[in-house]
Amino acid sequence: MSILVTGGAGFIGANFVLDWLAQSDEPVVTLDKLTYAGNLENLASLQGDARHSFVQGDIGDRALLDRLLAEHRPRAVLHFAAESHVDRSIHGPEDFIQTNVLGSFRLLEAVRAFWSVLPEAEKTAFRFLHVSTDEVYGSLSPSDPAFAETNRYEPNSPYSASKAASDHLVRAWHHTYGLPVLTTNCSNNYGPYHFPEKLIPLMIVNALAGKPLPVYGDGMQIRDWLYVRDHCSAIRRVLQAGRLGETYNVGGWNEKPNIDIVNTVCALLDELRPRADGQSYRTQITYVKDRPGHDRRYAIDARKLEAELGWKPAETFETGIRKTVAWYLDNAAWVARVQSGAYRDWVATQYGATP
């Protein structure tokens, strides 16, 4: 028995693979294209571990998928691979359509071909778990209830539209072909190995480098933050006991405006790595032009997952963010290496020359 994980060298996928192998001996095959966001260093602790195999490749490569499925005969495919950054999707949406829509389609087709000829017992036990996002539901006003699984889809960015499309494909492959699928729609994750183009790691690395902390618009947009390892435990639980064809919202009941997040990061850095001049990192906060089409508020209603499958997050935001800031302080070499030439090009494109 084994599982196939797509996108396992990225932020959440790598945390998932590491947690999986820390808790079970069931082998993992990781398929990852190693885009700018994929980093084999995230999986470095698995080097020489016979339970893990890494394959560099594209989920859009049908021949490779057919080969991998035939060779490893996984009992489940966990689909994390995606282009994941909203700002990049605004600058260049095509990669998002290629990977999130076309790539997911190719993967579904390869998995369907593999699954449809499995012996009956293996066919019944097989699962395709699609990892998706709360952004497919659009944006909430301050008084709206949190997103439930029954909310209608209203994606607003090229990224969320491409993820919504993949969710619909997964749903259709279940409805039409009977493929045994599960979908999770999760809120904003944070934690170790988070690429520093996203809010929390960007603030940590910019603060330590003495650079401006760029807050979009008025900084009052709300996100619902979940520690990444809690997302991983939710995925394991849904894989184990989720009802076929169902979607499960995953969230931490932890809504916060962006400016509060940035202030919290600054306060932790003030405590753990005070600035040489004795001033707070808060003095580096700089309000910048807003993201086009910026969703104002996300919030997840995770009651279905709790009621049906008994899942709850283990971390509070206070414990999770402290661990996260400490991880970045302890892993300066990882941070330095991911801030390659390509990363610097992105920062110049998005923020101009300064930050």
Catalytic residues, which ones? 134-135, 159
The type of residue at 116 is S
- Alpha carbon distance 11, 42 (integer Å): 8
Asked whether 179 and 173 are in contact (CB, 8 A), the reply is yes
Closest CA to 184 of 248, 241, 116, 100: 248
Interface with ligand DAU in residues 18-57 (CB under 6 A): none
284 to 49, 266, 326: CA distances (angstroms): 43, 9, 20
Contact mark string toward ligand DAU, 240..269, x via CB under 6 A: ------------------x-----------
Chain positions 85 to 114 lying near ligand NAD, rule: CB under 6 A, are: 99, 103
Q: Which of residues 290-349 bind ligand DAU (CB under 6 A)?
A: 291, 298
CA dihedral (171, 175, 176, 180) in degrees, to 10, reads 80
Query: Closest distance between ligand NAD and the C-beta of residue 351, in Å?
Result: 19
Contact 185, 133 (CB under 8 A): yes
Nearest distance, CB of residue 86 and ligand DAU, angstroms: 4
Q: Which two tokens stand for residue 88?
A: 């990049």
- Give, in order, the Cα–Cα distances in Å from 296 to each of 96, 123, 138: 22, 43, 9
Q: Is 223 in the site for ligand DAU (CB under 6 A)?
A: yes
Task: Give the interface segment with ligand NAD, choosing from 30-38, 115-123, 316-324, 341-349 (CB under 6 A).
Answer: 30-38
| Among 36, 105, 153, 216, interactor with ligand DAU by CB under 6 A | 216
Residue 268: CB minimum distance to ligand DAU, A: 17
- 243: phi then psi, degrees, rounded to nearest 5: -80, 135
Binding of ligand DAU by 165 (CB under 6 A):
no
- 79 in contact with ligand DAU (CB under 6 A): no
Name which of 80, 129, 160 is nearest 247 in CA terms: 129
**Out of 79, 88, 130, 198, the residue judged to bind ligand DAU by CB under 6 A:** 198
Among the residue ranges 75-83, 267-275, 283-291, 319-327, the one whose residues contact ligand NAD (CB under 6 A)? 75-83
Choosing from 30, 35, 157, 160, the residue that interacts with ligand NAD (CB under 6 A) is 35
Which is nearer to ligand DAU, 188 or 233 (by Cβ)? Answer: 188
Report the phi/psi class of residue 217: left, alpha or beta, with left for phi > 0 and alpha for psi in -120 to 50.
Answer: left
Q: Which stretch binds ligand DAU (CB under 6 A): 58-66, 116-124, 147-155, 212-220?
A: 212-220
Spatial CA neighbour of 125 closest among 21, 239, 272, 14: 239
In the complex, minimum distance from the CB of residue 37 to ligand NAD, in angstroms, rounded to a whole number: 3
Which structure tokens are listed for 282? Answer: 């808060």
- Residue 133 binds ligand DAU (CB under 6 A): yes
The binding site for ligand DAU (CB under 6 A) comprises 84-86, 133-135, 187-188, 198-199, 202, 214-216, 221, 223, 258, 291, 298
